[in-house]
Amino acid sequence: MIYCVIPEAMADELYDKLVTYYADDNNVEVIIDRRSSARRARGGTDASVQQRTVRDRRRARVAGEFPELELTDD
């Protein structure tokens, strides 16, 4: 799916035109961006934003070694 995002300030002049333009393409959806501010604004009052830490999201490797495999010709 491809989203064609239109700023709210330009929605009146562009929305209908773009919906008509992409009417035959089922992979495109025209939407209006109605956000009023950035979600992750710096210096916000939300405690979760102030305590955010960066961490490695990869899993740690399992300790130990793999057992030897016995290969047979069947």
For residue 74, name the pLDDT band (cuts at 50, 70, 90). low
Place of tokens 């102030």: 50
The answer to whether 40 touches 64, Cβ cutoff 8 Å, is no
pLDDT tens digits for range 16-44? 999 999 999 999 999 999 887 776 655 55
* Torsion from C-alpha of 3, 4, 8, 14, nearest 10 degrees: -150
pLDDT value for 35? 85
pLDDT value for 47? 55
pLDDT value for 67? 82
* Residue 43 Rama label (left phi>0; alpha psi -120 to 50; beta): left
pLDDT tens digits for range 47-61? 555 666 777 777 777
